[in-house]
Amino acid sequence: MKIYLMGFLALIVFGSCETKKLPYYGEPDVIKKVVDGKETEQSVYPTIPDFSFINEDKEVVTDKDFKGKVYVADFFFVTCPTICPVMKKNMLTVYKEYKDNRNVKILSHTIDPEHDTPEILKKYATDLGVTGKMWQFVTGDKEKIYDIGQKHYMVSALEDSSQAGGYIHSGAFVLVDKDRHIRGMYDGTTKDGTEKLIKDLAVLLKE
C-alpha cells in the first residue's frame, strides 16, 4: 500500500512537471551537428523572414517590433463580403483575452493595399474598438504581402476575379512563437478554432 501511494505521489509530482509543447509547422531542414564527438541530426524548422509594412498609424512595422513576442497573424481586406467580418469578430475575442499581455501581439495584413490605405485601416480598427499597439493592421507592397502570406505563413492570399470581392484568402489564424516559427494554424471563421487558439497561446507563453 505504501509503495502504491509513493508511486501515485511521484506521478503527481513528476507528471505535473511535464509541459505540453505545440508542434512546429513547415518542412524542416535536417542538418548534421557534432555533439560530444558524435554526429547527430537536427531538424531546423522554417521561420517567418524579415518584413516591413505600414500600419494604420502610418508607422513602419518590422519584424523587430515582434522580437521576443508571441503573435497571431492573419490576412483580410476591408471590403471583404464573405469571411472577414466573422474572422475579425473572432480575432476581437483573442484581442480582449490578451490585450493586457505585453508578450502577445496580433498582426493583420490587408491583401488589398490599393484600397486599404492607413486611413482606411485606422477607421476599420477604430470601428472594431481596437486601441494601442497590441493589434496592428498593416498594408504595403502587394507582391510582398502575397509572398510572405503564401510562402511563409502558408496561407492563401492573392487576387482572383472569380471570387466574391475579387480576392481569395485563407480564414486561418497563424500562431507564431518568439523565434518566428509557426506553432499553430486555426480556423478563424469558427468559435472552436478561436477557442483552441486562445488555449494554445497560453501554452506557448509557458514554453
pLDDT at 83 exceeding the cut of 80: yes
Specify the higher pLDDT residue, 29 or 52: 52
Q: CA 111, CA 139: separation in Å to the nearest integer?
A: 8
- The three cell numbers of residue 94 are 483573442
* Residue-level length of the chain: 207
pLDDT at 2 exceeding the cut of 50: no
What pLDDT is recorded for position 19? 65
Model pTM score: 0.86
pLDDT at 28 exceeding the cut of 80: yes
What pLDDT is recorded for position 57? 98
113 touches 140 (CB < 8 A): yes
Per residue in 111-170, pLDDT (tens digit) is 999 999 999 999 999 999 999 999 999 999 999 999 999 999 999 887 877 777 787 788
Q: In which band, very low, low, confident or very high, does the pLDDT at 38 lie, cut at 50, 70 and 90?
A: confident
What pLDDT is recorded for position 113? 95
- DSSP letter for 49, please: P
